[in-house]
Structure 1
Amino acid sequence: MASATTLAIVIILLTSLMFSAFFSGMEIAFVSANRLKVELDKKQGGLASRIISKFVDRPKRFIAAMLVGNNVAMVFYSLAASELIIRAVLWLGNSTSWGWVTWLDHTEHYWVSMLVRTALTTILVLFAAEFIPKAVFRVNPNRWLNIFALPLQIIYFILWLPAAFVTGLSNVFIKLLFKAEDEEEVSFGKVDLDHYLQLAVGNVDSEEELDHEIQILQNALDFSNVKARDCMIPRNEIIAHSLDTDLREVTLTFVETGLSKVLIFRDSIDNIIGYVHSYELFKKPENIKEILLPVAIVPEPMPANEVLAILIRQKRNMAVVLDEFGGTAGIVTMEDIVEEIFGEIEDEHDSEELEETQLNEHEFLFSARHE
């Protein structure tokens, strides 16, 4: 049992198992890695980062190389494990009086013996070369890729030709069977950017310390989830006039509030028919109808990016937001939507009138509009 041949088989088995674990770990690390961080590390000029960046540019070929390497390692592992189990059974049969060993080694029970060998080798490879390495390499995958960048470059160079063949063959089958064209490979996408920003946000103690550019990027990523109701001015804060209002009263409203636009309704605030811009008053109109401008109408659940597209397409600056009953829930302006990305935009007419009062040691009074 302790012969040189058996020792060589054990070495082959352990080596192939180690390589299989390495390929499995590198595969899951590559899939889980943050592509944006790879590109940012590349800008710093590190050798490992430049190597990994090349792999990121051709992900299909890298994955194919890892799969080819894993399959080759599995072939050697299977041959070595099968031979080692046969030798172990023979040795146990000759050295012990265990009946089940003799029964298992009998020719008539070949299929049972094969099932036992398959079960043992499968359990070993699942834990040692799949579950454990993938669990380890999934944690901080970018770091693992940088650590093994040079070995990966050597292995990739060796397996480049078979990996290219496998990739090309798979593309041919996909085109023939599914009539699909090759999709453009994207180095990193929205998910990678979001992951990177989450890491950046998690490393600061408070929102005040967060870099302004990072906050803008985070807001831009979250913008698709913002609804019209999230950025609208609520109904009770709307300043509007009836269609029959005297122009002198409208002019006074512009002067007192500093607003550039005032909504106009017919009969009630639930029937807004347009708005008046302050510069239209210089045309000396006789009544509001002569200078009334149309306003866009949007529902509360509409995404803010769609509202912005409507305002741009219709060349409007303001939209009325309707609730589920068709009544006016509020209004949203282009400025309100842009502020969801870039933060508060203040001008000379903005005034902060939010309540911030400490009543006692444990009680405070804040306006509900505080964010």
Structure 2
Amino acid sequence: MISLIALSFFVLIALLAEAFFSGSEIAFISASRPKLYKKAKENLPNALLAKFLIAKPERLFSTTVVGTNLCMNLISTVVTLFTIQHYGLDKGWLSAVLLTPLILIFGEFIPKSVARAKADDLVLRLAKPLTFASYILYPLTKIFGFYAEFLRSLLGESSEKSFFLSREEIKAALPTSRGSDVTQAERRLIARILNFNQMTVKETFRPLIEVIAIEQDQTLADAVRLFGESGHSRMPVYEERVDKIVGVIQGFDCLKAQDLSLPIKTVMRPPLFVPESKPVDELLNELKIHPMAIVVNEFGGAEGIITMEDVMEEVVGEIEDEYDEPPQLYRKISDNTYIVSARIELDVLSDLIRVPLSADEDYQTLGGFLLKHMQKIPKKWDSMIISGVEYIIQSATDRSIEEVYLIVHQRP
């Protein structure tokens, strides 16, 4: 018969083992990948082992799941046998009453809470014993792996399915996060990051109408004055027409020049030309060498410029440096009346006026939204009502809308 001392010792060892497996699982899920990979680059043995396990998630989680369940079943079986031997078959239910809180608190809740809080440290400490356990339990994990593969084949699921959420699954989950702790700004940021590899230069560049450029025959003194007025550190240089970009000049080039009466073309740098269709993620490495690229259309005409800042702003939003004056994108006159810059993004405006406004692949800003609906470049005081909101043009040029007076007549 099993003695009480032997039972207590066995339950303690099995509970510690279960705590090890359940805590390891949470530690590896919660640990910071960048910190771990940085330590792995320093050739720390435990970090290399942890990186090896993370690179093989099926092996990692098969080991923790099999280990946890094996310990739970062993505890349950041995304690049930002890109860029946000492108190009779009709008292077998006592084992469930005693074990349930014991296993949940000491085998699951406490180790998982500690592992989540100390994940970055524990993942290094647990890597070696967990790797050893993965070899010990390999026959069992292999058997269960074959069984899982058989069930997947019956259900028609792919065996290549990852333990982690795919890009598409995260995208599909974003709309359902409304009402949760995820804010509208966080949803926008996540969506932009997920869509980054599909983004092209055409969606990101700054059009020529917003670009300050200088003619190649102007002097370096003219460039210095323009740099001072604009606050920019570099400008495109054109020949005769602004869409015929022939170079780029940097403020530093002017500082090095001995004679500011020289024409700009004597010190300007050759430009980097990129097509509108170029993927932005492919452009990043080139922007490290050429801080400014000239965007050209299919006919070779310049459409605008793109910089590293433009790319980053497309993901994280507006970036301001110490010389930037914060842009005044709107002024609230009353709860239903606003004066708004045409450059404000539609999702920002939607949050402001509490009216749903959807961006389109053809436009992201209020200006683009109005041009799409008005089908022309409007003049001052032109107006239009769309979905209960009246838009009155306050300021416009012959090429773009500048400012809009907005009245919300009806909210959904």
When you count strand as a share of all residues, which structure comes out higher? 2
When you count helix as a share of all residues, which structure comes out higher? 1
Normalising by structure 2, report the TM-score: 0.45
Normalising by structure 1, report the TM-score: 0.50
